[in-house]
Amino acid sequence: MPLKDILVYVDDSAQATSTVAAACSLARRHDAHLTGLAVDRPADIPGFAAIEIPPSAVEIIRQQRQESLDKARKTFDKAVDAAGLTGRSGWSVASGRPLETLSLRSRYADLTVVSQNAPEGQGGGEDLVDDLIMASGRPILVIPYIGAPAEIGRTVLIAWNASREAARAVSDAMPLLESADSVEIFAVEPRGIGDIPGADIAEHLARHGLKTNAVKTAGLDIEVGDVLLNQVADTGADLIVMGAYGHSRMRELVLGGATRHILEHMTAPVLLSH
């Protein structure tokens, strides 16, 4: 299925500019419609405290929320105008909590684009991206905190371990893979996936007209996530495609795991599916 309907989550953070620009680039390249979504999150005020808040304070809170939404709208409009997408874009504001709202809206799009969680100490601490990946049921493209290249998906690295999640990610990424200049299937410490790891999925992709290069490597006693990021640096990949959370998130939090490591240290955009 072609990539024709893209959703981008826009907030008032410094990251929003590069995230919307990346979504615009994809929409223009794939001739897709782009929807910008902002979430008007209600203030977390307990009911017993709300009655003690004077009307003037309530109005200040309302104005702050509106200013945040206005800033997000300006970021979106500026990027859309620069990309020439005014006639193929739309803006939407939804009320509610970001996770529930974004999870629902993402199910009506081919791809949802979000920013990497901000590092702790820089407005971070929330696990919106992690939770969204688990709750959405749709592919999520995460744009690094450091920004993204002008074009995404020219040089693609598929992190392959033959898992259900990895297979889902490859399927979800097909519109991007079909327009890529280079696709590498990269297996780290492959076990139980054939004598030539990556050969089976390479054959499958070849039947879709894709030329791929299958590579395997030992873990070299370092984090699988670091091995992936090293390969990204070596190949100049501008997109990683990978399955998310093959193990439980609690296990990854306690013992470590590739998904959490990549989400915390990504250097290139990552398309994740669960």
pLDDT score for 121: 45
pTM of the prediction? 0.90
Of residues 55 and 240, the one with the higher pLDDT is 240
In order of their start, the domains of the chain are 5-143 (3.40.50.620), 155-269 (3.40.50.620)
Which residues are CB-neighbours of 67 under 8 A, at least 6 positions away?
12
Confidence of residue 193 (pLDDT cuts 50, 70, 90): low
Residue of 223, 161, 226 whose CA lies nearest to 191? 161
Residue 152: pLDDT above 60?
yes
Strand arrangement, sheet containing 155-159: 89-95, 33-40, 5-9, 111-115, 140-143, 270-273, 239-243, 155-159, 182-188, 212-217
pLDDT, one tens digit per residue, over 211-250 is 999 998 876 667 888 999 999 999 999 999 999 986 555 5
Task: Give the model's pLDDT for residue 125.
Answer: 47
pLDDT, tens only, 25-47: 999 999 999 999 999 987 666 55
